[in-house]
Every structure is written in C-alpha cells, then in structure tokens.
Chains A and B, each alone.
Chain A
C-alpha cells in the first residue's frame, strides 16, 4: 500500500516461512524486506521511513515530523494492542492457506508462543471477539469523525492498521467487524484504494 501510495513500480516476491534463503542477504529472517537500488531495508516501519525520505516529491506517507510521531503511535498500537487479538481469532484458519510444511512450522511455533493449541483458540472465538472489539474502540471513535486516519486522504497510519484486517480477511471467513460498524466502512474505503489493490487478491471473506 505504501509503494502504491508513493506511485512506485515494484515487484513483490513470495517468501515462505520455512524457506527464507531468498532474504538471507538482509541479515535477518523476517519480511518485509525492501531492495531499492542496492539499498536493503527490513522492518515495515523502517521501510515506510525510507520511502518517505527517499521519495519526497511523491505524496507524503507520514506527513512531516508530527505526522511521523502520530503514525508511529498508531503503528505501535496496531502491532502491540490489536494484532495479538486478531491472531487469536483467525490464526487457526491461516493453517489452511499454507504449504503443509509451513503450516506445521506456524502451528508449532505459535502454539509455543501463545501457550495454547490453535484448535482450542478457535473454539474460544466467541469470547475472544470481545477484547478485540474493545481494543479497536479508539479507531471506531476516530473513524466516526474522519474518513481516514490520515484525515481526508489515507496515509501510512491507515495502511499499518488496515494490513491487519487485510491479513485476517485473506485467511479467514471469520467476521471481525459487523457491517454497521464505522470500521467496516473505513475498511471498504481502504479496499477500494489503488484500483482495488487489496480487494483483488484471493480472500476468504464473503
């Protein structure tokens, strides 16, 4: 979304959990990794900052110093306060979308991290939706008054939160957000951006 926002041509290369040889050159083992004219940047926040710094003539992703602080607040909030709740709700379904080898890897590593088996988590969805809903309450309040977190137009703050919903939507048919929720309308606006960049991928959300 950030690359599309900046209007930059790019190629997205698939990487598997259990075959990270293609990103070994980045000296770490997590995606995303960006290679931009010989410069390698890993970590989504560092990539957003890199794109903003290097392509200043293109539409702003962060919007100056204050925008950067705002976006970082949202970025950390989304990753630390919202993502864990979404993981608990949809991770079980992710297994159906992975190569068998990757699925085993994800199941064993995540079950160890979460201290619970994924099938049990799936059975607890009814209870786990409530803390998720509470965690996104600030987003709900904000989106009632603004079209996007970026204001009239979307910015990286929108992309970092939306990516969590997009991930859930791609791997699971579980309904995270009800249709009458302001967050649902915001998500629809996000899906429509950049000629349906996010809408036009295989997904389980109907």
Chain B
C-alpha cells in the first residue's frame, strides 16, 4: 500500500479556532472524507495571507499535499480526483458537468439569498482580527454597507424558499442530488447550508418536512457525523460585546 501524506487544509476559522465558517472549505472537508483521505484542517484567518502565499490565492480553501499546493475549491476537487482516483468525486464527465452546474447555481443564486439572513451572525462569528478586512472586502463586493445587506424580513425568507423550491422537488425524487450516493454536487450544496448552520440559528429550510431538511440531516450524518459534530457559534460561551 502506498503511504499517503497527510493533507493539510487551511480552513477558515472564526472567533474560536474550532468554529469553521467557510462554505467553500466545508465542500473540501466533505470531499476529503468522501475519498477517505487523511487530512488535518488547520485554523486559518483571512488576514493570514503569508501562510497560503504558495497557492497564489488570497483565500481558503488551500490544501498542501506533500509538495503540491492547490487552492480554489473546484480546482482542489479536480486535483483530488486526479491524484487519488479511487472513490471519485466525479464518476464521469457527465457527473462533473452536473457538479459544475450545481457549483454555479449555488454561488450565483443560493449564497446571495442566504447572505442577508445570516450576515448579522457571520459578523459575530468572524475573528476580531479578520473583522475589518471582512467588512472592507465584502462592502466592496456588495457595493453597500453590511448593515444594509442584512435582511431577515419575511420577503428575504420567501425569496430563498422560492428559489429553492425546485431543489425540494428534486430531493423528493432522489436521496442525494445525484441519486443513491452523495457526490461533489451534494457537498457544494451542503457547504452553503452548513455555513448557515455553523454561524447562525436562522431558519434556512421551510419546515421539518421540507425534503431539503431531510437531505441535510442525512448529509450531517455522513462520515462519522463530520458535519453534525461541527462547532456552531451558538455553542460557544457568549462574549462580552
């Protein structure tokens, strides 16, 4: 048997080292677990650019596998399948195309609808050292002050539930988005909901009978409860404001 190096994942952490708050990093933790690869997810903060400088990227996830450094969640998934072909994340080109679509849908539609609901809590979850950097870069991205982005009105919830209504229909028909077993597409989708779960207590599903809730619970239980065991902001002792 070939000795495998332990892979290091730089994993965005919040106020507590064990609070892991990046949807993109959650994809990769699930992908590494899917492939039964040995890894260590080390806490990393947004301002610690020099620690991931070898990736030529400015944000996590970044993995170091022996002498190889790879950043960007999609490229990491591709790398893992090419370096470790067994237990593929993409079982075929078709499967990869599907995952790519889910990737785009999640980033262009789902994340922007989750952000207004959880942002207030994300600001509490973020490490104090990262706060200014986070505020500055996100305000530039959103084009307005973060306070104006936060929105927990009924309309904001309704927008999320309307945009995900087709996912509920899909998950009524299949166990995972790609059938009987989970694929990278499930991890991409999971990352978004797990991000919300780690940072916030807001209602991201319509109700308990929502097929997405049932799917998410199933996802949380995968790989020895990897998702389920995650530290959530609400579990941490309350800090003085």
Bound together? yes
Taking Cβ atoms with an 8 Å cutoff, the residues of A that contact B are 63-67, 69-70, 72-74, 76-77, 79-81, 134-135, 137-138, 141-142, 145-146, 149-151
**Least CB separation from A62: chain B residue:** B94
Q: Is the interface of A mostly helix, strand, loop or mixed?
A: helix
Neighbour of A80 across the interface among B92, B94, B169, B178, CB < 8 A: B169
Which residues of chain A are within 8 angstroms of B177 by Cβ–Cβ distance?
69, 73
In this complex, the interface size class of chain B, counting residues with CB under 8 Å from chain A, is 20 to 34
Taking Cβ atoms with an 8 Å cutoff, the residues of B that contact A are 91-95, 97-98, 100-102, 104-105, 107-109, 163, 165-167, 169-170, 173-174, 177-179
Instruction: Tell me if A81 and B163 are in contact (CB < 8 A).
Output: yes
30 contacts between A and B (CB under 8 A): A64-B94, A66-B91, A66-B92, A67-B94, A69-B98, A69-B174, A69-B178, A69-B179, A70-B95, A70-B98, A73-B98, A73-B166, A76-B167, A76-B169, A76-B170, A77-B105, A79-B166, A80-B165, A80-B169, A81-B109, A81-B166, A135-B109, A137-B104, A137-B108, A138-B101, A138-B105, A138-B108, A138-B109, A146-B97, A149-B101
Which residues of chain A are within 8 angstroms of B178 by Cβ–Cβ distance?
66, 69-70
CB distance from B124 to the nearest CB of A (A): 28
Closest 10 CB pairs of A and B: A70-B98, A76-B166, A137-B108, A80-B166, A138-B104, A141-B104, A138-B105, A66-B95, A67-B94, A66-B94
Instruction: Tell me if A74 and B179 are in contact (CB < 8 A).
Output: no
Neighbour of B94 across the interface among A63, A141, A146, CB < 8 A: A63
CB distance from B143 to the nearest CB of A (A): 15
Interchain CA distance A145-B103 in the complex, whole Å: 13
Instruction: Tell me if B170 and A73 are in contact (CB < 8 A).
Output: yes
Instruction: Tell me if A151 and B93 are in contact (CB < 8 A).
Output: yes
